[in-house]
Amino acid sequence: MFLSKDEERILNGAEGAVLARAIKLLVTLGDLGGAEKLVSIGRAQVAGVSYKTSGDATLELLESLVESVPCVKAKVLATQNPAGMDLKRWKEMGITPSFAEKQLRICRAYEALGVESYCTCTPYLSGNCPLPGEVVGFSESSAVAYVNSVIGAKTNRHGGLDALSAALVGKVPAMGFLLDENRKGDLKVKVNFKPRNESDYAALGYYVGKRVKTEEVPVYEGIKGISPSQLKLMGAASAASGSVALFHVLGVTPEVRRWKTIYKEDKPAETLEVEEREIKSVYDELSSPEDVDLVAIGCPHCSIEEIREVASLLQGRKVRGGTQFWIFTSPQVYDSAERKGYNKVIRMAGADVFTHTCMVVMPIEEMEIKSVAVNSAKAAFYIPRTTQNKCRVRLTPLKEMKAFLK
């Protein structure tokens, strides 16, 4: 890979051992991916924040980076992915002090490295939003899918460590989805039914994700009237079931509008027809319990529109005894929902809104929660896996969460 004089200097340790290691990691990734050079990024988003999923090794590594001399700081705006708890209200969630102590140390270490504690997987709704065409280094899979597909920014799907390295160096290898030729479609997805709600779109994304091959870009045809929140849930689901980092929706997402030919080979390599029965099969696959301990909304973190919908569902109702009803969002969207009075309506119903975390990366298996209802196929996919099957799920559209209210 070609390196500029300045990049060579950093690689040779002129700005300290940490930056040398960071750029070496990026160069190694670039060599593996066939990159010819590094390119500057406008911003970054760093996963690997929850103590539940990152553990002591990450904590020790981060604290050793903070203590390094000279001290290193992110060169661009960089924000943290969700942590394992609400950083302020963790006691109310039932998090243990020993978990909280380690979690707070991880977040503080990232902050010392210049990675802000926004702790959200929807940074694009919370002050870390790229422009169309901007090159960024994002690592949370649903955020990668959203900014690539819905905004038209450019990022590869980075691991936590390479996104941190990208933030510190301010660059990433020019490869993969940063190159226009890799952003065109491979697979045509003909949607032959009308999804009725956000969970149907999530189930559609989940079904498609399971059928695409690595690095393939699906192009959806036949979708009309999809909202940004529904695109968010659909993209998150296909990123979970099939690592889809980029998708297009004809007539909706920005890049398909500017190309003469949508597909890499002028025509799709394959066509996938999706009928309503395929969506039903996803609900069957992702749903087990009848009763639930927790209703959890906000995977990916809720937008203000989604919180308004939850508040309108809960208005004048109460959460049924024996069930908790939690909504997850970013601190910025929480503040906005507070000002608009949505959080008050939610709390009056006996539900609650938490920030910085989510139902997947918090330690629910240690919190006596055995079954969860979610409207997100991504959450339904991960909850059994991240709790060693101690917690079961049920995929249910928000409107049907009425069953858990009185």
Angstrom distance (rounded) from CA 228 to CA 198? 10
Closer Cβ to ligand F3S, 273 or 305, answer by number: 305
Binding region for ligand F3S (CB under 6 A) out of 252-260, 265-273, 295-303, 340-348: 295-303
Does 142 participate in binding ligand F3S (rule CB under 6 A)?
yes
Q: List helix spans (H) across 38-195.
A: 51-66, 90-93, 97-112, 141-146, 160-169
Binding region for ligand F3S (CB under 6 A) out of 71-79, 206-214, 336-344, 354-362: 354-362
Spatial CA neighbour of 359 closest among 400, 298, 287, 308: 298
Angstrom distance (rounded) from CA 343 to CA 355? 12
Q: In the complex, what is the shortest distance from the CB of residue 142 to ligand F3S, in angstroms, rounded to a whole number?
A: 4
Does 353 participate in binding ligand F3S (rule CB under 6 A)?
no
Does 205 participate in binding ligand F3S (rule CB under 6 A)?
no
Does 163 participate in binding ligand F3S (rule CB under 6 A)?
no
Closer Cβ to ligand F3S, 145 or 167, answer by number: 145
Binding region for ligand F3S (CB under 6 A) out of 246-254, 281-289, 375-383, 397-405: 375-383
191: β partners = 274
Does 363 participate in binding ligand F3S (rule CB under 6 A)?
no
What residues from 220 to 249 belong to the interface with ligand F3S (CB under 6 A)? 236
Q: In the complex, what is the shortest distance from the CB of residue 361 to ligand F3S, in angstroms, rounded to a whole number?
A: 5
Tally the C-alpha atoms within 13 A of residue 389's C-alpha that lie toward its C-beta: 1
Q: How many CB atoms lie within 10 A of CB 202?
A: 34
User: CA angle 235-240-246, nearest 5°?
Assistant: 40
Task: Dig out the tokens for 101 from the structure.
Answer: 């102590």
Task: Dig out the tokens for 364 from the structure.
Answer: 């629910």
Binding region for ligand F3S (CB under 6 A) out of 33-41, 216-224, 246-254, 376-384: 376-384
Spatial CA neighbour of 233 closest among 292, 298, 172: 298
Contact pick of 41, 77, 246, 299 for ligand F3S (by CB under 6 A): 299
Provide the 8-state DSSP code for 263.
Answer: B
Angstrom distance (rounded) from CA 375 to CA 237? 11
Closer Cβ to ligand F3S, 35 or 115, answer by number: 115
Does 301 participate in binding ligand F3S (rule CB under 6 A)?
yes
Task: Dig out the tokens for 7 from the structure.
Answer: 């990049």
**318-344 per-residue burial string, b: 16 or more CB within 10 A, e: under 16:** ebeeebbbbbbbbbbbbebbeeeebbe
Does 358 participate in binding ligand F3S (rule CB under 6 A)?
yes
CB 222 within 8 A of CB 285: no
Contact pick of 27, 147, 360, 393 for ligand F3S (by CB under 6 A): 360
Closer Cβ to ligand F3S, 141 or 336, answer by number: 141
Closer Cβ to ligand F3S, 51 or 250, answer by number: 51
CB 93 within 8 A of CB 368: no
Contact pick of 121, 125, 286, 349 for ligand F3S (by CB under 6 A): 121
Task: Dig out the tokens for 166 from the structure.
Answer: 């990208």
Does 49 participate in binding ligand F3S (rule CB under 6 A)?
no
Closer Cβ to ligand F3S, 329 or 343, answer by number: 329
Q: In the complex, what is the shortest distance from the CB of residue 276 to ligand F3S, in angstroms, rounded to a whole number?
A: 25
Interface contacts to ligand F3S, rule CB under 6 A: 81-82, 121, 140, 142, 236, 299-301, 328, 358, 360-361, 378-379, 382
